[in-house]
Amino acid sequence: MTTLEERRDEVAAKLARLRALMAERRLDAVILTQVADLAWITAGAAVYVNEATDLGTATVVVTPDRAVVVTDGIEAPRLENEEALAALGFAFAIEPWYARGNEVARLTEHLRLGHDGAGDGMDVSTDLRDLRAQLQPGEIARYREVCRLAGVAMNRALADVRPGMKEFDVAARMAAESRAVGGAPIVLLVAADERVAHYRHPLPTEQTIQRYVMAVLCLRKFGLIASITRLLHFGPMPAELRAKAEAVARVDAQMILGTQEGRTLGDMFALAKAAYAAEGYPEAIEEHHQGGSAAYQPREALARPGDPTSILAGQVFAWNPSVRGVKSEDTILLGPNGAEILTAIAGWPAWPVTVNRQSIDRPAIKEV
């Protein structure tokens, strides 16, 4: 993993980019409060306690010459020591837990402010989203590890899933394995049998697994989020299900290989729409989003019609094409030699797909 010195250099580079944005927007300070932005600016620190909220336990105030962590005496020791924020160059302003807010107001009085989604001044959350998606070398190294661990957690969780278990049981296994590798399972979706076709975002229930199950995991570590989906079928899968799954695998392969520098997210939407139509499922483009860029959110920006957002080398993407009853999803990095699948599970059955003479494996439904 990245060293403290490498993290310090990463923070310095990010502060420089943020200050360039401030100059462009004519701002005197930017206030960061969201977990995603706090993890980004601190090179992966966990500036949160409650995982069910997007708000961090501290605020970072960035001016042209300072970066100040504003928090209380409860959080400051962990953020200074375990998260190493002081060693990374952040100053601290500590206020009583019962009087939070006064210090930020004092630091930013009479300044032209930007914020990341809530507060006075200019909303620069879209600018910050774009900055988060442009990964530094250290972030890419951490992302590789996060994605590897997501694959490990998923594979271990599904290893002993059997008919008769409840969807809750599968979710519990994914949660436990995610924690075991040091990650936080921020999204856990499980569907058994007919629920796979009925719901694109199936929260787990008490339904008992009979023949078929879909498991979806978004794992967060170092602030970065890996997304992965896998499907199990107990006994030979029906021919109709296999045909659907192979069609989705071909759509997914086209999206992964089509992720190229110079294209836009709007281009990717159009590519997916054409791919579904060619497979005989034109309605699928309307039934669920197709994914998009990833980093400190499961999706930083979705592929939408006409979206001009450029695709750049060094960015991470998670496409998730689906047809009712089947889905394909991995997290990928667009590197100098094209797309690299980061959440691949060694030994998982795969369907080889060829697109314009390029071959790529996509995960098959695993028959148990």
In 3D, which of 293, 271, 244 has the Cα closest to residue 355? 271
Domains observed in the chain: 4-133 (3.40.350.10), 137-367 (3.90.230.10)
At 241, which amino acid appears? L
- Can you give the pLDDT at residue 119? 80
- Can you give the pLDDT at residue 137? 96
CA distance 367 to 344: 18
CA distance 255 to 268: 7
Q: Express each pLDDT in 34-76 by its tens digit.
A: 999 999 999 999 999 999 999 999 999 999 999 999 999 999 9
CA distance 334 to 315: 6
**What pLDDT band is residue 118 in, cutting at 50, 70 and 90?**
confident
- Can you give the pLDDT at residue 36? 98
- pLDDT greater than 90 at residue 1: no
Distances (CA, A) of 299 to 37, 61, 125, 132, 224: 14, 25, 14, 11, 11
For 240, the token pair is 């109709």
- Can you give the pLDDT at residue 2? 85
Q: Express each pLDDT in 240-289 by its tens digit.
A: 999 999 999 999 999 999 999 999 999 999 999 999 999 999 999 999 99
Q: Express each pLDDT in 312-338 by its tens digit.
A: 999 999 999 999 999 999 999 999 999
For 11, the token pair is 């923070």
In 3D, which of 220, 185, 303 has the Cα closest to residue 38? 220
State pTM to two decimals: 0.96
CA distance 232 to 3: 39
